[in-house]
Homo-oligomer: A and B are copies of this chain.
Amino acid sequence: MVKALINRLALALIVVAGPNTATAAPPTQPARVARTWTIEDILTIPQVEQIALSRDGRSAAYLVRVTRSQDDGPVFELHVLDLQSRRDVILARSDWMEHLEAMPAGPGWSVLADFGAGVQLYRVSGNTPPSTLVFNPRPVLVGNVDGGEFGVTFTRPLRFGVAFYSWSPDGRRLFYSTLEASSAPPAIVANEPIARASLHHRTGPPVSVHFFMKQQQVAPVPVMTVSDHDRVARWLGAMPVWRADAIEYARQIDTRSDPTVQRFAWDFATRQSTPLPAAAGLARPAVIGPHGGTLAIDRLDNVLRLREHQPDGRVYDYGASEDTLSDPRSPGSWRASDGAFSLTAVRIPREARYALLKIDEAGHRQLIDARGSLRNCAFDSALHRGICIHEALDRPPQLASVDARSARVTDLHAVSARYETIAPLRITPRTWTNAYGFVSAGFVIYPRGYQPTKRYPAIIVTHGSDADQRFGAPSFQWNYPVQVLAERGYVVVLLNDPFTAQSPTIEMAATTENSCDGKTSPAEVRQLLWLNTVESMRSAIAQLDRDGIIDPARVGVAGYSFGSQIVNVAVTQTHLFRAASSGDGGFLEPSVYLAAACSYNAIYGGAPGDPAAAGAYQAFAPSYRASYTHTPVLQQLAEPLAIPTTDFYRALRAHGVPAEMTLYPGESEASDETHIFHIPANRRAAMQENLEWFDFWLRGIEPSSGPDGQRRQRWDALRDEARRDEAEPMSP
């Protein structure tokens, strides 16, 4: 979630493909074994957002984000699975549901949901209608919409009354936040706050976040009110940690993408906040070890070690480890009430998958895992049993039972039967070591019916570290129909950045880019954080070429957001790619220095006008490098902050490089699509556009006429112009 936040604040750009694809599966395809992937399949992959265990251990509730092809947006379903009978029922549906927990007392579940009155806190159970636990009568409009607070829900605009809640461990207290939109007339504004008005397309009122503590029968007590500019408070509920006497929380104290927080404690008795003695640090969740101390990955003598830090200063060392503890994509940290062991949800970067790490009191480590990933787990308080999502790139999600003592994993229930009928594609995990000596993890998806004697066109897809063992995660593959590309005869490579943990220099560069601390030079920042991934692409292409799998003259590259930054750099620094698709980005373009001055100073060494930085901009800014490339670039946009996209588009066109940019609209003139598309018709059309784009440039297949009837004419004209330029002698 934090990483998503970090990515959200980096502006980035993006693009869909061909008429010959079986893009529209018949809505009711007879269930038969071994059918093939369609775009509709990708569009409707369910996302299990969260799991909660009942206190009696008999059932597991889970939230699924569902998209049906003919809907105009996602819907959230609250399911309950009886762990004995494996019977699954849907308790509720809503345009928004999150933060699912078992009620601290009695049956039922607490959840934030919109049941017609904006998002509020409800109790949902099988026997009764939802009942209101916390209700804010003036919910705030949130979304990419006129009059709304800019949101990261990736849905249509919604009203939010309650933004966050957390039960105390003993269930007697409830900590929660509500939103309030200011109705005051707008004031005259001076200086830096004006810049904020340019960061988003839509304008809304100032929004405050009110935090309260409620103790059983007592009226709620205000804890604090903050501006929604504090993103940690607004979106992470101020990251509360319950103590016996107080609640600890975090306040954002800077404006960086990966923000720094100062922690405080609000005393239940005195109702006063005091800052905690610990120094301000990044916004990271608390992870607990078997002795009740804090688990962390520490670098000592250039080796990463898993260690537990006690409050009295004692440290336990559990050995070398490069894993990520409680990664936002699979958060979780538990300690058995009898202290026998701790469980931590981990991400294994070198294998690009998720598992559970068990550490016992004696310090023995054991990985509890399954083929692919175990993720988003929920455990009972005694840590006997948990329920996780078990999935892999080639394995649709199941709810699985995990026995923490025996480490046994048992699949219980398929989340969607539809995907069980698709013949799995052949997907191989791989790592590549690039010319800088750094390792990237990823996967190779073989085309359906792969023949080793043939060489295939290939598409490389990238988005940070999101290529991992999750089934069709939109946060990785976005509008790139990875599975259908494989069905259509492409090798598809899912490639991660070289993972940060492997090297202190990459870690330091990332810190410099976020904080502009100047400890890593701009040239190294560019090399370690962008060129590094491009070099991994070069290594992957070389390996697949050496092994006779791909045709190196027909390789495309695609990525959205941070991935689009990599794509834009890849096509303006190498001639590896025959076509590119770049999604909803723009970061690295000089025209958006406004939005990220600190990071740009770290990347380029100064502002675009600073002579000291001029060479760096000339060498690296994609639109400044347009004369170098020949690679056709498609850019697909959601929020129409079109300046950097247009700068790159026009620079490419000015140098005769084929280029197209496409803006996907919101529900109306008053709203925009979201960074990860929420309108199925848009996502479908964008995937189609990407298929057609790569089919056109890599395989010479004519596109459809597109949504405006002009696509084929435009692309044919781009191709004809490029052929004419190739025929001419190079100008000096």
Contact = CB atoms under 8 A, between A and B. Distances in A.
A389 interface: no
A660 B609 contact: no
A707 B669 CA distance: 34
B594 A643 contact: yes
Given A146-B147, A591-B593, A670-B147, A191 B609 contact: no
Given A646-B198, A646-B594, A714 B190 contact: yes
Interface stretch (A289-297, A347-355, A614-622, A723-731): A614-622
Contacts of A694: none
A530 interface: no
Nearest to A626: B609
A661 B194 contact: yes
A284 to B, nearest CB: 31
A593 B651 CA distance: 11
A205 interface: yes
Nearest to A188: B707
A188 B685 contact: yes
Contacts of A591: 590-591, 593-594, 608, 643
A399 B590 CA distance: 54
A654 interface: yes
Interface of A: 146-147, 185-191, 194-195, 197-198, 201-205, 590-591, 593-594, 597, 607-611, 614, 617-618, 621, 623-626, 637, 640-643, 645-647, 649-651, 654, 660-670, 682, 685, 706-708, 710-711, 714
A82 B611 CA distance: 67
A643 B643 contact: yes
Given A146-B147, A707-B188, A663 B194 contact: yes
Contacts of A607: 623, 647, 650-651, 654
Contacts of A201: 197, 203
A665 B618 contact: no
A205 B711 CA distance: 24
Contacts of A664: 188
A194 B642 contact: yes
A714 B192 CA distance: 13
A711 B660 CA distance: 47
A468 B706 CA distance: 55
A348 B84 CA distance: 95
A142 to B, nearest CB: 14
Contacts of A706: 190
Contacts of A621: 609
A187 B640 CA distance: 13
A253 to B, nearest CB: 20
A642 B682 contact: no
B597 A650 contact: yes
A204 B669 contact: yes
Nearest to A708: B190
B618 A590 contact: no
Nearest to A655: B610
B649 A191 contact: yes
Contacts of A707: 187-188
A708 B190 CA distance: 9
A538 to B, nearest CB: 25
A170 B630 CA distance: 63
A666 to B, nearest CB: 7
A663 B609 contact: no
A503 to B, nearest CB: 32
6 contacts: A190-B662, A190-B710, A194-B645, A194-B661, A198-B640, A594-B650
Contact of A189 (B188, B590, B662): B662
B661 A191 contact: yes
A541 to B, nearest CB: 28
Contacts of A651: 607, 609
Contact of A188 (B185, B187, B645, B708): B708
Nearest to A646: B195
A642 B195 contact: yes
A188 B594 contact: no
B668 A185 contact: yes
A208 B266 CA distance: 59
Given A194-B640, A194-B663, A188 B609 contact: no
A188 B15 CA distance: 12
B669 A189 contact: no
Contact of A661 (B190, B642, B649): B190
A187 B707 CA distance: 8
Contacts of A186: 665-666, 668-669
A731 to B, nearest CB: 13
Nearest to A650: B597
A194 B609 contact: no
Nearest to A622: B609
Select the residue from A607, A649, A664, A669 with max chain B CB neighbours within 10 A: A669
A609 B590 contact: yes
Contacts of A185: 665, 667-668
A637 B193 CA distance: 13
Given A188-B664, A665-B186, A668-B186, A198 B643 contact: yes
Contacts of A590: 590-591, 608-609
Given A198-B642, A609-B617, A188 B662 contact: yes
Nearest to A601: B654
